Structure 1
Amino acid sequence: MRYPSLTHALAAVCVLSLAACSVPAGGQSTDPVSTGGRIKLAMLQPPRTGLSPFSDDAFKLSRWSTAETLINLDENGDAQPALATAWARTSARTWEFTVRPGVTFHDGTPLTAQVAANTLTRATQATPKPRILDGVELTAKAEGDKVVVTTGEPDPLVPQRLSSPQLSILAESAYRPDGTVNPVGAGSGPFKLTRVNGTTTATLDRYDGYWGEKAKAGGIDVAFVPDGTARAAAIRSGEAHIAEAVPVSQAALLQKETISEVPMPRTNTLYLNTKTGPFKDPAVRAAARTAIDPAQLVTGVYEGRADIARGLLGPALAWAAEGRRPLAERPAATDAKGVSITLATYSDRAELPEVASVLQQQLQAAGFAVKLVVREYAHIEDDALAGEFDAFILSRATVLDSGDPVAYMQADFTCDGSFNLAKLCDEDVDRAVKKAAATDAGAARRAAIMEAEAAILRTDAAIPMLHERVIQGDATTVVDSAKDPRERILITTDTRLK
């Protein structure tokens, strides 16, 4: 993605200020009903698809608490009620979800099982389909107050899939004859999306007809500010109450009480090409593993605002550390002197080029001859997937839309994986991932996931280096903004200004 200049980004923050011009300097709304004020929010990425819920824009709708799903997830990734109050698996391929009564959308129409089934059906017909349905055959129909979901193959993760923001349930008025989706005024959450100004701003007002606890804030005024320096400056100047994704380089410039760090299910990983080139040899992969010092990356590049990786899954998943398996029988490292490799990464995430530079030095110190390639992600992804590089540094979300790591493991490390940068095809890995995918959600599935992690790590196809943290800026006037590792929630019914 090519980002606007700092000047344009700062202008966007000013637009945010103008959007909230009815809010006095103290941050309190002049509306006597809105005792929690209007929250000014600076967000990282502008909408890419007009806020279509079938795209990554869905996470904005979720973070603003304007669109809701049938299911929510708890900290462990287990399913919890949302727009569905109960669910049951009635056969190997069929699930029934009971729709919550008394819910109205922001356009005044009621939530019914038919409306929910309509959303799910449209999602299956979208082009491209939501990520959570990639490779999944799913049908939905209404029977009374229940949505009956049937999958082509037995799928123990259906409730978790329905928690994805990309399957947010919208009023039927959101779906246009031309196939586009307009979420303005079509959600069911505590905040009503009332206006979107292209890729610049969005406005939300409290929805007093909400089925649950009413929001304490009167509304949200959003500005899209791709430049991280500008987002941090907006917190310092008071132009924003909340700024998401503050860069590591800017965190030290903010008052300590205005920043928070939350471990993310995102791992900075070195993928090694196991199909062609020097890393086809497990002993050479082991040499790369032993050459890398993650602590230097954490302290030097991330200024201590990251966690050294002990595995693929990090501290955002507390159960992962508790269930980690020992890694016995790993190949011994060979002498890497004179081994030439090409190391690549992308520039869209600010820290990665510096990570690549440090890794280049570490690998060279171990004897490797390292050529470094850095491009924008849009210009390097195809080559990376084609195996054009010997090694690739990726900042990878390990818990995808279902809140479950199995989809990530399938995509990245199995023989048929759609995002297999390492070109790994290992029988033990495929067997372990397949077992995890077939296990019911809960403790048994988590144990199977850790077995799969161990199988992957034993190959040295991927060397996890560090787990990133999300740094969020909150003005001292903000109360109870969400600190969500999955970045699904940001402003809740409790979020307000003092």
Structure 2
Amino acid sequence: MRLPARRLLPATALTAASALLTGCFTGTQQATDDSGPGGKRIRVAMLQPPRSGLSPLSDDAFKLSRWSTAETLVKLDREGDARPALATEWKQSGRTWTFSLRDGVTFHDGTKLTPEAVVRALTEAATASPKPRILDGVDLTAKADGEKVTVTTATEDPLVPQRLSSPQLAILAAKAYRGKTVNPVGAGTGPFELTKVTGTSSATLDRYDGYWGGKAESPGIDVKFVPDGTARAAALRSGEADIVEAIPVSQAAVLDQDLVTEVPMPRTNTLYLNTGKGAFKDPAIRAAARAAIDAESIVKGVYEGRADVAKGLLGPALPWAAELRTPVERAEPGDPAGKTVTIGTYTDRSEMPEAAAALQQQLQKAGFKVKLDVREYANIESDALAGRFDAFVLSRATVLDSGDPAAYLYSDFASQGTFNLSHLKDPEVDKALKKATDTPVGDARRKAIAEAEAAVLATDAAVPMLHERVIQGDAAGVVNAAHDPRERELVTADTYVK
């Protein structure tokens, strides 16, 4: 089937969008440093502004990770296996894991990485309210043991190293934890030091010459938060930004294709249905919504073919999921006639309002009466978590935290999950999720995860529609920018601008 024509950005829109960035990078591009090939600072246009003052205990942690300023004990390789970072090795003994720390690491304030510093950071995360989602359902304690750190969980947990790779468990200097909030400015261990944050508009990072892994190629990073997707695309076209994340699919064709990289990612666009109250408390009405949704038309009409139709919650970035997936027995659709529902979504990803509008039409055709509530994510998340919508359209990373989807499934669908937008409380789902969480890493765990996915899908609490792709823009002079499906890396020590 022929795809719809791509929408081009008119010159007047380009001028207006570009104006949003005018002045934000002024002068920074001319900075030079003769000590390496990267004599210019890197100008980055980011999608979402900070939600929690760049606290690593929130989703802001992934910004700190993408700027290479905050680091974790462990990192993940492409396959999702744990590899050394601030910790060089580890071993398990029942419920306890022992980690050896890397020598010669200093925080950006000059203090040394010590077992006590690691324990402080992990304890702050483990006792936070709410906890970082990687610790959903996990009771974790950390103690200094000579020059090493021990991490103990209430029950034996095969995923402790992978959990500790989450940017939300970054290790920061003691100064970061003074007061009621966590302040990452000048407190990381990475190749770039966060030196200034200007509210929700910009951030500045300078090269940290004492980095344990060697001096970064670029002298620094200048970040501008640009929620408007048209403005981000315009910044790349006009040369005002060097790296642009999350280019909207509607703007991808406008750009020089040599500057655009598209990477399949473990991110699913899902319609979460509120099972706790309202119309979708009835399984038959949830089934009617699921039956009414035509995901293929949304992929073609909204995403212009730059996405994959979902067969389940886990997409092509996890090929084993399709191999293990089995048919799911669901409720028969009921009659939605006269049922009024409100769907919430957000403007930060430009495709989301369009996807919600398409869903509105599809559900209305099936007999629902549908209202939309669309806002910036920072202004709508609390209402979504509180269950104030009948349904919510969300673009959700499925292995963002640990490289393992069990944590995402637990967070989103367990009775005690902290991101349970569906307000699902189902004993069979909880049982399947616990089995997936407790099973050792390997084939048996993957099978248990597939079974947990099937248990969730059987409830129709969530209707997976499509799996997204990363669309990133890199200016012609950019060298070694990261293209990371997990959205943990963007600018690394090896990244520079010619």
Matches of 1:340 and 1:130 in 2, distance apart?
36
Write out per-residue CA displacement over residues 194-217 of structure 1, whole angstroms, 9 at most, x where no aligned residue: 333443333323333322243222
Matches of 1:436 and 1:351 in 2, distance apart?
32
Check the 8 A contact 1:264/1:467 in 2, yes or no.
yes
Check the 8 A contact 1:480/1:496 in 2, yes or no.
yes
**Alignment match, 1:466:** 466
Aligned with 2:372: secondary structure? Answer: strand
Q: What is the CA-CA distance between 1:483 and the residue it aligns to?
A: 1.1
Matches of 2:125 and 2:201 in 1, distance apart?
27
Matches of 1:274 and 1:173 in 2, distance apart?
43
Matches of 2:20 and 2:203 in 1, distance apart?
11
Write out per-residue CA displacement over residues 89-139 of structure 1, whole angstroms, 9 at most, x where no aligned residue: 1222x1111101122223333222222222222333445543333453322
For the pair 1:141 / 2:140, whether they are aligned, the reply is no
For the pair 1:398 / 2:401, whether they are aligned, the reply is no
- Counterpart amino acid of 1:55? S
For the pair 1:171 / 2:179, whether they are aligned, the reply is no
**Alignment match, 2:66:** 63
Q: Which runs of 5+ in 1 are unaligned?
A: 1-5, 24-29
Task: Check 1:436–1:337 CA distance in 2 against 1; reply closer, same or farther (3 A cut).
Answer: closer
Matches of 1:409 and 1:150 in 2, distance apart?
23
Query: What TM-score do the two structures reach when normalised by structure 1?
Result: 0.88
Aligned with 1:102: secondary structure? Answer: coil
**Alignment match, 1:199:** 200
Alpha carbon RMSD of aligned pairs, Å? 2.8
Matches of 2:383 and 2:127 in 1, distance apart?
30
Matches of 1:264 and 1:82 in 2, distance apart?
23
Matches of 2:446 and 2:326 in 1, distance apart?
16
Task: Check 1:9–1:166 CA distance in 2 against 1; reply closer, same or farther (3 A cut).
Answer: farther
Check the 8 A contact 2:228/2:350 in 1, yes or no.
no
Check the 8 A contact 2:106/2:210 in 1, yes or no.
yes
Q: What is the CA-CA distance between 1:277 and the residue it aligns to?
A: 5.2
Matches of 1:127 and 1:433 in 2, distance apart?
22
**Alignment match, 1:111:** 113
Matches of 2:213 and 2:166 in 1, distance apart?
20
**Alignment match, 1:51:** 54
**Alignment match, 1:422:** 422
Check the 8 A contact 1:160/1:403 in 2, yes or no.
yes
Q: What is the CA-CA distance between 1:67 and the residue it aligns to?
A: 1.4
Q: What is the CA-CA distance between 1:9 and the residue it aligns to?
A: 7.7
Q: Which runs of 5+ in 2 are unaligned?
A: 1-13
Check the 8 A contact 1:265/1:485 in 2, yes or no.
yes
- Counterpart amino acid of 1:67? A
Check the 8 A contact 2:136/2:410 in 1, yes or no.
no
**Alignment match, 1:250:** 251
Structure 1 residues 9-18 or 112-121, which shifts more? Answer: 9-18
Matches of 2:199 and 2:275 in 1, distance apart?
44
Check the 8 A contact 1:70/1:169 in 2, yes or no.
yes
Structure 1 residues 428-437 or 381-390, which shifts more? Answer: 381-390
**Alignment match, 1:84:** 87
Task: Check 1:175–1:286 CA distance in 2 against 1; reply closer, same or farther (3 A cut).
Answer: closer
Task: Check 1:338–1:96 CA distance in 2 against 1; reply closer, same or farther (3 A cut).
Answer: same
Matches of 1:194 and 1:391 in 2, distance apart?
40
Structure 1 residues 385-394 or 100-109, which shifts more? Answer: 385-394
Task: Check 1:54–1:360 CA distance in 2 against 1; reply closer, same or farther (3 A cut).
Answer: closer
Aligned with 1:14: secondary structure? Answer: coil
Write out per-residue CA displacement over residues 28-75 of structure 1, whole angstroms, 9 at most, x where no aligned residue: xx3211312321111223334333322322222111111110010123
**Alignment match, 2:412:** 412
Matches of 1:272 and 1:492 in 2, distance apart?
39
Q: What is the CA-CA distance between 1:21 and the residue it aligns to?
A: 4.8
**Alignment match, 1:131:** 133
Matches of 1:88 and 1:452 in 2, distance apart?
28
For the pair 1:17 / 2:10, whether they are aligned, the reply is no
Task: Check 1:383–1:455 CA distance in 2 against 1; reply closer, same or farther (3 A cut).
Answer: same
Aligned with 2:155: secondary structure? Answer: coil
Q: What is the CA-CA distance between 1:421 and the residue it aligns to?
A: 3.5
Matches of 2:15 and 2:86 in 1, distance apart?
42
**Alignment match, 1:3:** none
Write out per-residue CA displacement over residues 195-244 of structure 1, whole angstroms, 9 at most, x where no aligned residue: 33443333323333322243222322222223222221111111111011
Q: What is the CA-CA distance between 1:148 and the residue it aligns to?
A: 0.9
Write out per-residue CA displacement over residues 143-182 of structure 1, whole angstroms, 9 at most, x where no aligned residue: 1221111223333222122111122112234333x24433
**Alignment match, 2:369:** 370
**Alignment match, 1:26:** none
Aligned with 1:424: secondary structure? Answer: coil
Write out per-residue CA displacement over residues 425-471 of structure 1, whole angstroms, 9 at most, x where no aligned residue: 43432221110011123332222111111222223232111112222
The 5 A counterparts of 1:31-430 are 31-37=33-39, 38-92=41-95, 94-126=96-128, 128-176=130-178, 178-274=179-275, 276=277, 279-323=280-324, 325-333=325-333, 336=335, 338=337, 340-348=339-347, 349-366=349-366, 368-376=367-375, 377=377, 381=381, 384-385=384-385, 389-430=389-430
What percentage of aligned pairs have identical amino acids? 65
Task: Check 1:233–1:181 CA distance in 2 against 1; reply closer, same or farther (3 A cut).
Answer: same
Check the 8 A contact 1:271/1:391 in 2, yes or no.
yes
Task: Check 1:308–1:278 CA distance in 2 against 1; reply closer, same or farther (3 A cut).
Answer: same
